C-alpha cells in the first residue's frame, strides 16, 4: 500500500470498539498515516457516527474516498442490541443514570412482539436530547447538560424490519433494519413508552451499512499492524 494509493482513495471497514467515539477511530487512523509517511495532513473521515457505548461497523474513508461519505451516509443500516424495560434515562441509553422506574409485571411475549410490529414502516421520530444535532448554534447535548429545555423537531424515518430475538425480562434483544437518520436510542425509549413500562438502550452493535457487513471489518489493531508492515 503506497501513499499514492491511499491518496487516490481507500475505504476501510472498521469494527469500532466499545467506549471509542467515531472520531477516536478517525484520529487514530489519521495519526498512523501521518506518522508512517511523515505528513502534516491527510484526509480521513467516517460515514456515520456510532455512539461511544455502541460497537460495530464504521466506514472510514481515506484520501479522495472522503468524497463518497455522503453517499455512504444515505444507506440503510442494520443493528442488533438490547432494550432494558422498566426504567428510563435522560440520554435513552446508559450514558446517563436511570431517572424513572416502572413496573413490568404486566408484560408478556405477545405484547412485546405486537409492539415491535407497531414500529415497522414510516413514521416521525423525535431524536434524543443527548445528540449532536444542532439547535440555536449548539449541539443538543450541550443544551441538555446545561439543563436547558429546547424544542426538538421530529424527523421522518422508516423501520424496514424489527425482530425480537430473545425476551429475558427486563431485557429484550432485537435486530432492526432502518433508514438513514434513525436513532435506535429513540426507538428504545419509544418502545418502552408504547408498552407503558419505560425503556432504554443497554447495548447496541451496528452490523450492516447497505451491503457492507461488520463480518468483513477489521479491528483498529489490524489496521495499525497492516500499516506498520509497509
C-alpha cell at 54: 455502541
* Cα(72)–Cα(27) distance, integer angstroms: 19
- The residue with cell 473521515 is 45
In DSSP notation, 103-148 reads --TT--HHHHHHHHHHT-EEEEEPPPSSSS-EETTEEHHHHHHTT-
d(CA 160, CA 142): 32
Residue 101: alpha-carbon gap to chain centroid: 25
Does the annotation mark 51 as catalytic? yes
134 backbone dihedrals φ, ψ, rounded to 5°: -90, 140
- 80: part of which helix (H) or strand (E)? strand 77-85
Determine which one of 51, 117, 168, 213 is catalytic.
51
Residues classed as catalytic:
51
Amino acid at each position: 500500500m503506497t501513499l499514492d494509493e491511499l491518496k487516490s482513495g481507500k475505504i476501510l471497514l472498521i469494527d469500532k470498539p466499545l467506549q471509542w467515539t467515531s472520531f477516536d477511530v478517525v484520529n487514530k487512523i489519521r495519526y498512523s498515516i501521518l506518522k508512517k509517511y511523515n505528513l502534516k495532513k491527510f484526509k480521513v473521515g467516517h460515514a456515520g457516527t456510532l455512539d461511544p457505548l455502541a460497537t460495530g461497523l464504521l466506514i472510514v474513508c481515506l484520501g479522495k474516498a472522503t468524497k463518497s461519505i455522503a453517499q455512504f451516509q444515505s444507506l440503510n443500516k442494520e443493528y442488533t442490541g438490547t432494550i432494558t424495560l422498566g426504567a428510563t434515562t435522560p440520554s435513552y441509553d446508559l450514558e446517563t443514570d436511570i431517572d424513572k422506574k416502572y413496573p413490568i409485571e404486566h408484560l408478556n411475549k405477545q405484547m412485546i412482539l405486537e409492539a415491535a410490529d407497531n414500529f415497522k414502516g414510516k413514521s416521525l421520530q423525535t431524536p434524543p436530547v443527548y445528540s449532536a444535532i444542532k439547535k440555536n448554534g449548539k449541539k443538543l447535548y450541550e443544551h441538555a447538560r446545561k439543563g436547558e429545555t429546547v424544542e426538538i423537531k421530529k424527523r421522518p424515518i422508516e423501520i424496514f424490519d424489527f425482530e425480537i430475538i430473545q425476551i429475558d425480562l427486563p431485557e429484550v434483544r432485537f435486530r432492526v433494519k432502518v433508514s438513514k437518520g434513525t436513532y435506535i436510542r429513540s426507538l428504545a425509549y419509544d418502545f418502552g413508552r408504547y408498552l407503558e413500562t419505560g425503556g432504554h438502550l443497554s447495548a447496541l452493535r451496528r452490523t450492516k451499512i447497505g451491503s457492507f457487513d461488520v463480518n468483513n471489518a477489521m479491528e483498529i489493531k489490524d489496521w495499525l499492524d497492516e500499516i506498520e508492515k509497509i
